[in-house]
Chains A and B, each alone.
Chain A
Amino acid sequence: MDVRRSLCLTLLAASFALGGCASTGGPVSLVEVRQFADASARLGGYGELSRRYRDTYEREQPYLSPAADRIAKENDARRRAVYDDFVSIQKSVVLYMQTLGVLAGDARYDLSDRIDDLGAGLKANAESGLQQRQIAAYTGLTRLLTRVIASGYQSRSVETMVRDGDADLQVLLDAMIALTRLYAKTNDNEKKTVLGIFDVEIPFSTRSSDRMLVTLAKVHYLSKSTEYKLVDKRYDLALQGLTKVAAGHKKLRDNINNLHGDEVRKLLATYARELVSLRDALSD
């Protein structure tokens, strides 16, 4: 009994000592960090456009002269040789963002449910000899204590990850942006190769016996140019998304000691919202 009472007092003292920390930090809420990290992890576009880049040759091969085909084959081999590297960059970034999202998530750090459960166990234990009032106090204090400890742990973990990860993350995002730009430029050459042949050959086919061929060519041209128009938009969306992820994480890094500030939280929420709508646009 005495031991239990002194335990309660110790807990009480400890909670007062830690209470100061808790009140300055406020209740832990890294909701916006989690939203931003989740939205960043789910941003689409890059993976699909990497695959499209890898498969360039398959699409353009029928339109190539033998001389161009020789170079194209070599280009195909070069693109395929580094495709796995393109993918692994994205995987590192996605994994980082997923983990940051979990780390900033509330669920694991909020131990209240488990402590309520413990309190119920204490209450029901007829042998404990504890008064109801003491049990309530004990449960309350434990809850406060665990929350303070866990929340400090959580904030510190998020801070460490963001602070130590930013430089490398920015390098990888810069690389993804540069690669996406190269994909887009290669796609532009593919588009002009495919459509260019029809630009030239259709005006040459003026005999009446060419009529069906010209009609088919025009239909093909139309569907191809629509396809390229849609794809062009995706490069643009993917680039916008990657740029936003980079800017958002930079903001996170710059405000690492002030993650609970209203302005930062609002900003991160905006980034997360914009990333979600970019993702929606990409999945259309």
Chain B
Amino acid sequence: MANDDTTPAAGSPAASAGAPAATPPHTLPPTQTPAEALATAHQVEELADQLSACADSVHQRVMRDIRRHGDGDVPENEQAAARALLDAEIELRQRADRLYADAAACIVASLGQPQAHLLRLTLDAADKIRRITRIGDGISLVARLLGLATAVGTGQVVPILTAIGRLQAQLDVIAVDNAPPEPPASA
């Protein structure tokens, strides 16, 4: 992959403005481990850094030429040369950006498995959280039932109705806790 990239990219600093932007289509290797992908991406990134550095030195060169004239007018032909160099500089930056984008694509292509694994762990943990919630809910349910038994023992309507209300409320809480989990999209 690094070699595939080297060939077209190494030729491009010489290319002047207006050169055809033809590069062979990229084919990423199907499966790289994340570590391999990161290493490949790093090589591509270094190459791009060199292109960016080239662009920087083109710019410095242009600015040096302009400053030689101090506050005086820059002759037309030198202006034209400076603009051509500026165009070349900007094109180099785009070529560097392409490599940065390739490096990024290479990195993300390798992350399917770690992401899936982490997600499974997260779902397992969410399941444990639900289980402990149910234990707590169960304890409260027993308390509500006891409350109802006590109220029935008094034989008075108001306490019984109150106890039934509280029991119903607890059953509602349990229903909520047992509801299927929300899709994890809130992040």
Contact = CB atoms under 8 A, between A and B. Distances in A.
Given A75-B97, A114-B143, A186-B97, 17 more contacts: A68-B94, A89-B111, A91-B187, A102-B129, A111-B136, A121-B143, A153-B128, A178-B38, A178-B103, A179-B104, A182-B103, A185-B45, A185-B96, A185-B100, A196-B90, A200-B83, A206-B73
A264 to B, nearest CB: 20
A67 B38 contact: no
A52 interface: no
A256 B82 CA distance: 61
A121 B147 contact: yes
B129 A125 contact: no
Given A108-B133, A125-B153, A182-B45, A200 B82 contact: yes
B74 A171 contact: no
A178 B41 contact: yes
Give the interface size bracket for A toward B. 35 or more
B184 interface: yes
Contacts of B157: none
Nearest to A79: B101
Contacts of A41: 187
Contact of B125 (A68, A100, A118, A174): A100
Given A95-B122, A95-B184, A179-B107, A127 B128 contact: no
B143 A90 contact: no
Contact of B118 (A56, A67, A157, A169): A169
Nearest to A196: B59
Interface in A67-126: 67-68, 70-72, 74-75, 78-79, 81-82, 85-86, 88-96, 98-100, 102-103, 108-109, 111, 114-115, 117-118, 120-122, 124-126
Interface of B: 17-19, 21, 34-35, 38, 41-42, 45, 48-49, 52, 55-56, 59, 62-63, 66, 69, 73-74, 79, 82-83, 86-87, 89-91, 93-98, 100-105, 107-109, 111, 114-115, 117-119, 121-122, 124-126, 128-129, 132-133, 135-136, 139-140, 142-144, 146-147, 149-150, 153, 184-185, 187
Given A95-B119, A165-B118, A67 B139 contact: no
B150 to A, nearest CB: 5
A41 B149 CA distance: 46
A185 B92 CA distance: 13
Given A150-B135, A200-B62, A125 B149 contact: yes
B87 A65 contact: yes
Contact of B21 (A63, A70, A111, A181): A70
Question: Which 7 pairs of residues, A with B, have the shortest CB-CB distance?
Answer: A121-B146, A85-B108, A168-B114, A94-B187, A189-B93, A71-B94, A118-B143
A193 interface: yes
A114 B136 contact: yes
A115 B139 contact: yes
Contacts of B82: 200, 204
B57 to A, nearest CB: 12
A126 B101 contact: no
A283 B100 CA distance: 27
B139 A118 contact: yes
Nearest to A117: B143
Contacts of A103: 125, 128-129
A261 interface: no
A136 interface: no
B103 to A, nearest CB: 6
Contacts of B87: 65, 67-68
Contact of A192 (B18, B19, B93): B93
A135 to B, nearest CB: 11
A192 B55 contact: yes
Contacts of B111: 85, 89, 171-172, 175
Given A82-B108, A199-B59, A200-B66, A157 B125 contact: yes
Contact of B121 (A56, A85, A89, A161): A161
